[in-house]
Every structure is written in C-alpha cells, then in structure tokens.
Copies of this chain bind each other. A is one copy, B any other.
Amino acid sequence: MKQIVLIGAGNVATHLARAIDQSYPRGTLSHIYSRRHSSALELGQQLSYCPVCVDNLQALPTSADLYLFCTPDDSLEALWHTMPATHGGLWAHTAGSVPLDKMMAWHSKCGVLYPLQTLSKARSIDPRELPLYIEGSDEEVAARLESFARSLSGCVYRADSQQRGHLHLAAVLACNFTNHLLALSEDYLKRHDLDPKALYPLVRETMAKAELYNPRSMQTGPAIRGDEETMNRHLELIQEDLLLSQIYRLLSESIRRHSR
C-alpha cells in the first residue's frame, strides 16, 4: 500500500492510524476524513506525520490504494452514497455486523478488515496483538487486504460475512453481557456499602481459568451444585429488583440444563 485514506477519526480509526503510522513510511496514510474537521486534526496530530485532514469526501484523492471506512456500522451506507468515484483502489470497512454484499453495491473491489477488540482512544494496545478478520469481494482483494493486515498485526484470520456475524454474536455474549453482569455486581455491592472492586481478584482468576481450560468444566456456584437453599437466599436478597431476579433465575436455569 503506497497511499491509504482513512474515513473516520473515532476509536477504531485511531488505533488503525497508529498501527499504520508504525508500519508504513511517513505520509503513506495521506488523508483523514471526519465529519468534524477538528476530530480528524486531533487524530492526525498524534501521528509522526500529520495527514491532510478534511471534512468533505469530495476533497479526497481518487487514486489511493486503500480507503479504510472506520465509522459506526449504521453510518456506512450514507457515506458510500456520497463518496466520489475512485480508480483502482480498494474499499474496506471495519464493521462486525455489516455483510460485505452491502458494500459491493457501491464499489466492486471491496473487503472487510474487522478488528475483534474493544478499542478506546484513551487506552493503547499493542497492534501486533490486535485480532483482524479479513474478507474480500474476490480472492485477489482478500489476499491484498490480508497482506496489509499482516503488516499491522500478528493475529490475522479470514472470515466470511456469515462467520463474522457468528463472531459478533459470540462477542456480545462473552463481552457485552459479561461486562453488564460486572456492572450489576458493582451496583449491588455499592448499594450495600461494599467495595465495588472487591471481586476483581476472583473475576481475573475466573477469566484466566476459562481461557486456559474449558469454561463449562470450570463452572462453580450454587446453580451447578443444585444448591436450592443458597439460590433461594440470593433471590430473597434481590426480590425487589424484578429484572435482576429474572436474570438470576434464567442464568441459573441455563447453567443447570447445560450441566446435564
């Protein structure tokens, strides 16, 4: 890739821009587009060489090698609608939930580079450990995107739109929902004047064991033991919180059924 254009200046764009800046010569990332010019500039100034920052898609060059769309999933169609025609270059989006065929309606040489990670501007991560899932409108595009991805990260995989959809759903279970349970647990401890972070040594060890072993075989707690007495005592403690009681019952029931 000799010239790369970045569309977006949010969390994903920030991490990919830093990774490109580390792996490619100064100036390879030539332009950053953001709806808000100041956001593009703020990102550009963090890099070793500040790219041209624009808030107008028509101001982008039309012959770059790669146009990388790093904006929210539901903003992509409108952007593609407004993009100028480009010549020769690839378009790639980074969204977990957007199938490739939606993009192919707008540009024939296109693909996906999906970072399966939770990215925040304020938190730096090692780009070599960023899992990237690649898909292309044809094998040549896929191979070019894969080679680009490997220049950024040591964890590059292929995944078609259907597989990416499965990964995205599993990520909701394993990350969005677990994070919410941690929030519920912290809220509960706070309500009872206990340290909301008291459980993190246990959380860390639980996650480490799940990763090393099979989480199903590591399941502990009253539900897997069929300890009705403890479960009833817990349900009494949260009886005034209907939604939390439902969550407790449903997840306990699921643990019980999966233990068979």
- 8 A-B pairs closest in CB distance: A176-B221, A174-B185, A183-B215, A178-B178, A173-B185, A182-B215, A183-B216, A170-B185
A254 within 8 A of B: yes
Besides the known contacts A97-B230, A247-B250, 17 further A-B residue pairs in the complex with CB atoms under 8 A apart: A73-B230, A118-B209, A118-B218, A155-B201, A163-B194, A165-B233, A165-B237, A168-B230, A170-B188, A172-B223, A176-B223, A178-B206, A178-B207, A179-B218, A182-B207, A183-B210, A243-B254
Cβ contacts A122-156/B at 8 Å (1 or 0 each): 01010001110000000000000000000000010
The interface on chain A, measured as residues whose beta carbon lies within 8 A of the other chain's beta carbons, has a size of: 86
A171 at the interface (CB under 8 A from B): yes
- In the assembled complex, 9 residue pairs joining A and B whose CB atoms fall closer than 8 Å, in A order, are A74-B229, A97-B233, A170-B185, A170-B198, A173-B185, A175-B206, A175-B220, A182-B207, A204-B211
Instruction: Count identical subunits in the complex.
Output: 2
